[in-house]
Amino acid sequence: MDDHTIDDKPPRYAIESDDEDEANPMQPSQPSVPHEVTLVGNIPTGRCLVVASADPGIFWAKGAELGEQAGAVSVNGKEVGLVFNPSWTKANVIISEAIWVLPVSAMHPYAQFTIDNLKPTSVALLDQYSVPNLITSDPVPATDAPIRTLSTHSTSTHTPPNLVNTTSASFLSILTISKILSTLVLLPNPNTLKPAPPTMQPRSIIPTMEWSSTATNEAQQMMFQAISEPIDHPWQRKESVTTTVRRSEIGEGGMYI
């Protein structure tokens, strides 16, 4: 039998494919769309600044008695940073990404705009870290996980190779380059955190994670000590955050916390 199949070359389709079958086809990249960041409200500048983000920010705001919303930092027309001037501190307070979650592409423009326009003398940030994803030589149970910090001017307890990939990282990197004293306070979260969405996404104002009153008060003290703003205002947990609709310089609605 004259069978040449063993010596024949394999058919083309067995060793080649077109670009539609490639894992990373060579297609032209989509041009990045610039994000429009605006500030609404008569916000005093040159003060200390507190930026409390995501679940920690929402939860802390529930018991911080921040008062009526004074302004907002908006991205593409969406209120991302809710600005407050509580009576018990001279610092500007921003509850960030409580209603809208930013994609990675909008984090830096939002943070840069906020710093450029409010011109803070020092900044305290509140965010969270994932306990299961923490890389450490001394692991601890999630129930015993400590509050960790990152600072521009002192030894930090949230050490490499651990990364912060939220908007707080954009703030801290800009503040470091600007040589503005700043500290990021990180509450422990026993869950794996979701990555940033590809586009701006709405979120519920009800936090998906809560912390004890002891931990929240400790985080609050750490924030205001970091900006040398002593306060005598203990955090007390409340059951709800009310949203009041009003037409004013803030826009179509406002928040009272």
pTM exceeds 0.85: no
Length of the chain: 257
- Range with lowest mean pLDDT among 6-20, 65-79, 112-126, 156-170: 6-20
Domains of the chain: 47-232 (3.40.50.10900)
* Residue whose C-alpha is closest to residue 114's, from 176, 33, 40, 55: 40
- Give the three-state DSSP class for 61: helix
pLDDT digits (tens, 9 = 90+) for 4-37: 555 665 555 554 555 555 555 555 555 567 899 9
For the record, the structure tokens of 218 come out as 């400790």
**Residue 154: its pLDDT value, please?**
79
By the 8 A CB rule, do 163 and 221 touch? no
Between CA 108 and CA 7 the distance in angstroms is 59
By the 8 A CB rule, do 71 and 43 touch? yes
Between CA 14 and CA 8 the distance in angstroms is 13
pLDDT digits (tens, 9 = 90+) for 103-154: 999 999 999 999 999 999 999 999 999 999 998 888 888 889 999 999 998 7
Between CA 211 and CA 51 the distance in angstroms is 18
**Residue 157: its pLDDT value, please?**
79
